[in-house]
Amino acid sequence: MPSSASGPDSSPFIRAVGRALPPHYVSQEQLIAAFRELWATRHFNVERLEDLHRAVQVGGRHLALPIDDYRALVGFQQRNDAWIRAATELSETVVRQALDKAELTPADVDHVFFVTVTGVATPSIEARVANRVRFREDFKRTPLFGLGCVAGVSGLARAADYLRAFPTHTALVIATELCSLTLQREDLSIPNIIASGLFGDGSACAVLRGGEAPGARGPRVVASRSVFYPDTERVMGWDVVDTGFKVVLSAKVPNMVREHIRGNVDRFLGEHGLARGDVRHWVAHTGGPKVLKAFEEALELEAASLERSWRSLREVGNLSSASVLFVLGETLEGPEPRPGDWGVMMALGPGFCAEMVLLRW
């Protein structure tokens, strides 16, 4: 069943979104040059691998570490230790930025949802951030691991569910993904070559407030919908191996979008008396060029409808769960939204599954 509220005026609202990228930027051609020597020793057709890298249409990416530092990371512990350090720093940055944008302080935060799929930590990253920004001692924590790219939308939906029960509270959704620290350099499979060209590093933090909290500004989260596709475990995910996370990425993803997303979206909107033509803002995860084209075709969208998603993909790559929050933040801060506008956030991820959120300005 969908989660819903009695109306947009009683729904939680999104107050602000903070976004940050690591400082180490490399172009796609620089990355290809760094890989070329390794590929040449293990594959007879280096040009084919380079073409696959370029086909994802990513111009460059920000990396958690300087590119030369990755050579020393050979085991899972080394990669994960680097992930903990960088994820904590980046998450603190976006929390402070988001709270400043929302004109709130750490003491105003009641619940923090932290989502990731690129590293593991106990205590989890939001606890480490709490020691730096000093949330109240009674703040609640919900770390979520394993939802992958869909987690930016899922985390926001779960935070909105919480705020419906506690309508005066404030919640944060932190999505921090350092995909570069999962790279399996020795894996020359097609999925890993594509992933090494597609995924980047970044972090985002959304500030949500309950419907009875003061200072309402920004779109309301009117409803959310989760859709699980049975028996699709091998479409996307990780195989956990001795060296860390080995990507599972099926070529079926765009076809699954074409097969399912129109019906999923139409049913979701129909339950609220809406149709696709009523939606002015589409906030889509930057899954890759084939996925974005599949969204456009399946939903019969105009070319400009996903322009922010396309631009984000070209400029910084697929940031897994953080990507859709980057697109949301740019939408919130852009000039287009007007009072009364409807919007849909959507993403897909391991399971295989989809998550949708209905917004109203």
Alpha-carbon gap, residue 242 to 11, rounded angstroms = 45
Alpha-carbon gap, residue 120 to 154, rounded angstroms = 19
Q: Which of 2-6, 181-185, 248-252 has the lowest mean pLDDT?
A: 2-6
For 87, the token pair is: 């994820």
Write the single-letter amino acid at 47: E
Alpha-carbon gap, residue 225 to 263, rounded angstroms = 13
**Residue 109 φ then ψ, to 5°:** -85, 130
Task: Give, in words, the CATH class of 217-360.
Answer: alpha beta
Q: What is the pLDDT of residue 43?
A: 60
Whether the CB-CB separation of 130 and 169 falls below 8 Å is answered with no
Alpha-carbon gap, residue 151 to 189, rounded angstroms = 26
Cβ-based neighbour number of residue 232 at 10 Å: 17
According to DSSP, residue 349 is labeled: E
For 70, the token pair is: 């990755």
Whether the CB-CB separation of 206 and 328 falls below 8 Å is answered with yes
Nearest Cα to Cα of residue 319 among 75, 118, 125: 118
DSSP 1-16: --EE-S-GGGS-EEEE
Nearest Cα to Cα of residue 253 among 214, 291, 297: 291
Q: What is the CATH number of domain 15-209?
A: 3.40.47.10
**23 burial level (CB within 10 Å; 0-12, 13-18, 19+):** exposed
**60 burial level (CB within 10 Å; 0-12, 13-18, 19+):** middle
Reply yes or no on whether the pLDDT at 285 is more than 70: yes
Task: Name the residue ranges covered by the structural domains of the chain.
Answer: 15-209, 217-360
Q: Which sequence positions are flagged as catalytic?
A: 149
Reply yes or no on whether the pLDDT at 185 is more than 50: yes
With DSSP H G I counted as helix, E B as strand and the rest as coil, what are the percentages for the chain, rounded to 5? 45, 25, 30
Q: What is the largest CA-CA distance in the chain?
A: 63
pLDDT in tens, 87-122: 999 999 999 999 999 999 999 999 999 999 999 999
For 217, the token pair is: 């500004």
Residue predicted with more confidence, 73 or 128: 128
Q: What is the pLDDT of residue 150?
A: 97
Alpha-carbon gap, residue 319 to 198, rounded angstroms = 9
For 177, the token pair is: 């993904």
Average of per-residue pLDDT across 24-30: 91
CA dist list (Å): 82 to 107, 190, 248, 258, 270 = 29, 26, 22, 38, 46
Reply yes or no on whether the pLDDT at 79 is more than 90: yes
Is 217-360 the same fold as 15-209?
A: yes
Q: Which of 21-25, 69-73, 278-282 has the lowest mean pLDDT?
A: 69-73
CA dist list (Å): 115 to 130, 132, 149, 180, 260 = 15, 19, 10, 17, 25
Reply yes or no on whether the pLDDT at 129 is more than 50: yes
Nearest Cα to Cα of residue 121 among 176, 83, 172: 83
